[in-house]
Amino acid sequence: MTDEKLKLLREKIDQIDDHILELLNQRAGVVIEVGKTKEQSEQSFYVPSREKKIYQRLTEINPGPFPNDAVCKVFREIISASLNMEKPMQVAFLGPQSTFTHMAAMQQFGLSAQLVPMKSIPAIFEEVERGRAQYGVVPVENSTEGVVNHTLDMFIKSDLSVIAEIMLEISHNLLSKTGDIDRISKIVSHPQPLAQCRHWLETNMPDTPQLDVSSTAAAAQLAAEDDSVAAIAGQAAAVQYGLQIVKARIEDNPNNFTRFLVIGREQPVKSGEDKTSIMFSIKDEPGILYRMLEPFSKRRINLSKIESRPMKQKAWEYVFFLDMIGHCDDEDIAGAITELEPHCHFLKVLGSYPVAGKGEKNIEENN
């Protein structure tokens, strides 16, 4: 009786799967028409605000028991495949594969996009500027260790725009070929993960030398080649390079997120829940820092981040990076930027883009 019931239930699942497949192909047909319409009107094929609204609408109407997190992941891949049908999409990211930037790119663009690993942040900007990739994904700040200066510096000389942001929860593991902590004589990783695991390392392996390398994936590769080397990296790197987890989740701060930016050549439309990033250099005069913030304060604009970087061309002059909640086309934000501009040597709007959600659990852990 149990076998018969199981057979009937599986037949029902097959029927549902057939219906899902039929609906997916119906959706694909509409997507092809959307692509033709966009091409005729010269509209952007990739619209982050549209994707965000799709996820929001589906999670709001989802009655369960299929979880909302899984709904977003399923539809991310549907949307990724759909975009690839409209126009094949190349996305440059800070490689190699299995780095956290690779995870962020997959979270944003899905598996159907052509993800192209690059060796440096400047190379990502150049790839997009020259049109060899439509978009790039670069890290910009970590909740524990702060900003990625290389990314901010590139915006000073690049005309690319920020078109989206990605929040990714980061979890670090100590990995080795044998999984035996007693055989480890050296620990390697990118400087950021080493810093994010500083307390654990000082407490548990204070006498083990540490070595900086270009990425967590490069660290995992070194560990795969030498039994005495351990890498700090994510689970995807462990899978790719055949490593064992010596100790999981060794980051000092369990609430550890990295923010990534998607860069491109166009400006996305308003989503209704946006963030605007600008950069500017101010004139050196009395009271200038107060006047820099006053246009935003009196309009009650929420400034979510202020960062400064030295100008490499001139000593003791600085470029400020400022994030605010809202879109550059909003009356208050447009007015504040207009009021600020006369006090600046230069001012550039880097982009207005949809605010990212809290961020998924590290994708690696869910695979």
Joined together, the tokens standing for residue 320 give 């400020």
| Residue 155 falls in the annotated catalytic set | no
Q: Taken in order 198, 307, 167, 357, is the CA torsion positive or negative?
A: positive
Selecting among 144, 258, 276, 280, the annotated active-site residue is 258
Q: Smallest Cα–Cα separation from 91: which of 132, 36, 146?
A: 132
What amino acid occupies position 128? V
Selecting among 260, 280, 296, 321, the annotated active-site residue is 260
Place of tokens 């920020």: 162
Cβ atoms of 263 and 136 within 8 Å: the answer is: yes
Pairing assessment for the beta strands 244-247 and 173-176 based on DSSP bridges: antiparallel
Which residue intervals of 87-228 are DSSP H helices?
100-109, 121-129, 149-157, 191-196, 198-204, 216-225
Q: Which residues pair with residue 318 across a beta bridge? A: 310
Give CB contacts under 8 A, 24+ apart, made by 291-300.
291/343, 292/320, 292/340, 292/343, 295/335, 295/336, 295/337, 295/339, 295/340, 296/324, 296/336, 299/332, 299/333, 299/335, 299/336, 300/332
Place of tokens 């902590």: 181
Place of tokens 């060794």: 250
In the sheet that holds 344-354, the strands lie side by side as 303-310, 318-325, 274-282, 344-354
Secondary structure of residue 162 in the 3-state scheme: strand
| Residue 109 falls in the annotated catalytic set | no
Which DSSP letter does residue 118 get? Answer: E
d(CA 164, CA 160): 12
Instruction: Cite the active site residues.
Output: 258, 260
